[in-house]
Amino acid sequence: MTTVLHPLVKRFLDGELRLADLPPELHAEARAAERLLGAVDRAPVTLPAALEARVMAEVRQRVIAPSARRWWHRLAEPWEIRLRLRPWILGPALAAAAVLVLILARSQPPVPPVAVAAAPESVYVRFVLYAPGAHRVSVAGTFNQWDATTAPLAPAGAAGVWATTVALPVGQHQYAFLVDGRRWVNDPAAPMVDDGFGRRNSVVAVTAGAAGARAL
């Protein structure tokens, strides 16, 4: 269950309009929305108590054991290799290598040039959904392989408001909210496209250097 705010109320929340600029009949909706957003902004960010323990356990696992370190040094230290070749073997060896390269090249399908970002920049994006009566809400999309367990939303102060902040890589993403593990809900504030399964996905574009997601 979601609520779509009146466009003028959205502009009021964005600071483009004052309350006095709104029609009187929108004052109540504007104040209510302002209260909700105020509650969201005040919600403290709390990390799970077990997070530090999990991180330290992971770090300890990655420390190289002494025996592994000895092996690593054996591998890393330079070896002296003496290779004696008769000149007549060079021709057949090069020919064999050329044939091997040709065979490998012919057996692979053509791969298109792919633009790969050296280090994809991430931007923190805050997802907020008004879903009164919901017991669980999460957000899933192309950024987390549609895994609804990785980005749960938490109640955010006011009744019915759920929110979470997710680091998204720069680019365009499609997503939807999953309410109570069974109902997919769109973000009413974002553009939508057909998902191919009889529903619609919301679209968000994350641009480099932005303070947050831009509704592209």
Partner 1 sequence: MRTALVVLLLAAPSLALGVTATAQQPVAGRLAGRVPAGVVAAVSALGDSAAARGLPVDPLVDKAIEGGAKAAPPERIVAAVQAVFARLGRAQVALQAATPGVPAADAVEAGAFALSAGLEDANVQELARICVAPCSAAEALRVAGTLTALGVPAPEAVELVRQTLRSGGKERDLLALPGRVEAELAGGATPAQAAAGLARAAAARAAAHGQSGAPPHGPPTSRRP
From residue 59 to residue 88, what is the string marking binding to partner 1 with x (rule CB under 8 A)? ----------------------x-x-x---
Q: Which of 132, 152 has the CB closer to partner 1?
A: 152
Q: How far is the CB of 156 from partner 1 (least distance, A)?
A: 24
Which of 69, 172, 180, 188 contacts partner 1 by CB under 8 A? Answer: 172
Q: Can you give the C-alpha Rg of the chain in angstroms?
A: 28
Which of 2, 3, 11, 27 contacts partner 1 by CB under 8 A? Answer: 11
Binding of residue 151 to partner 1 (CB under 8 A): no
Report the 3 state secondary structure along the chain.
CCCCCCHHHHHHHCCCCCHHHCCHHHHHHHHHHHHHHHHHHHCCCCCCCCHHHHHHHHHHHHCCCHHHHHHHHHHHCCCCCCCCCCHHHHHHHHHHHHHHHHHHHHHCCCCCCCCCCCCCCEEEEEEEEECCCCCCEEEEEHHHCCCCCCCEEEECCCCCEEEEEEEEECEEEEEEEEECCCEEECCCCCCEEECCCCCEEEEEEECCCCCCCECC
The single-letter code of the amino acid at 208 is A
Binding of residue 100 to partner 1 (CB under 8 A): yes
Which of 90, 95, 154, 159 contacts partner 1 by CB under 8 A? Answer: 90
Which of 7, 23, 24, 48 contacts partner 1 by CB under 8 A? Answer: 7
Q: Which of 133, 126, 138 is nearest to 212 (CA)?
A: 126
Binding of residue 41 to partner 1 (CB under 8 A): no
From residue 109 to residue 128, what is the string marking binding to partner 1 with x (rule CB under 8 A)? xxxxxxx-------------
Binding of residue 137 to partner 1 (CB under 8 A): no
The piece of 8-16, 21-29, 54-62, 122-130 that touches partner 1 (CB under 8 A) is 8-16
Q: Which two tokens stand for residue 31?
A: 């104040």
Contact call for residues 107 and 123 (beta carbons, < 8 A):
no
Q: How far is the CB of 197 from partner 1 (least distance, A)?
A: 5
Residues that bind partner 1 (CB under 8 A): 7-8, 10-11, 16, 81, 83, 85, 90, 93-94, 97, 100-101, 104, 108-115, 140, 142, 145-148, 172, 184, 191-199, 203, 205, 207, 214-216
